[in-house]
Amino acid sequence: AQSVTQLDSQVPVFEEAPVELRCNYSSSVSVYLFWYVQYPNQGLQLLLKYLSGSTLVESINGFEAEFNKSQTSFHLRKPSVHISDTAEYFCAVSAGNTPLVFGKGTRLSVIA
């Protein structure tokens, strides 16, 4: 079975500062990794995903995540955050044909 640990439940950061949201996973088989974002009063939206190939994946709004197999990590980063990035971020893992397993989430609060 797979599991996901999001090490920080809350991350406050000033606007235009960089941010890293940490995610570690556990699995005995190869995995696919995802980050979802949930804005206030909205549903979960896919931010980015790693299936295979390049270990660095990017989203259209400036986030990136790097798959590190040796560290079993998939940390999410952004070099300069905006107020509009305030949301809850969930890391998720799947071992191929299995339903996604989510972490508990990290609440990112961007401070003006």
Q: Which residues bind another protein (CB under 8 A)?
A: 4, 6, 9, 32, 34, 36, 42-46, 49, 51, 90, 92, 94, 96-97, 99-105
User: What is the nearest approach in angstroms of another protein to the Cβ of residue 112?
Assistant: 25
Nearer to another protein, 10 or 68 (CB): 10
Q: Minimal CA–CA distance to 92: which of 83, 82, 84, 102?
A: 102
Decide the pairing of beta strands 19-21 and 73-78: antiparallel
The CB-of-107 to another protein minimum distance in angstroms stands at: 9
1/112 with CB nearer another protein: 1
CB of 92 to another protein, least distance (A): 8
Q: In this complex, which beta carbon is closest to another protein, that of residue 66 or of residue 95?
A: 95
74 to 15, 24, 41: CA distances (angstroms) = 23, 6, 26
Per DSSP, the three-state class of 84 is helix
Q: With contact defined as beta carbons under 8 Å apart, do 109 and 17 qualify?
A: no
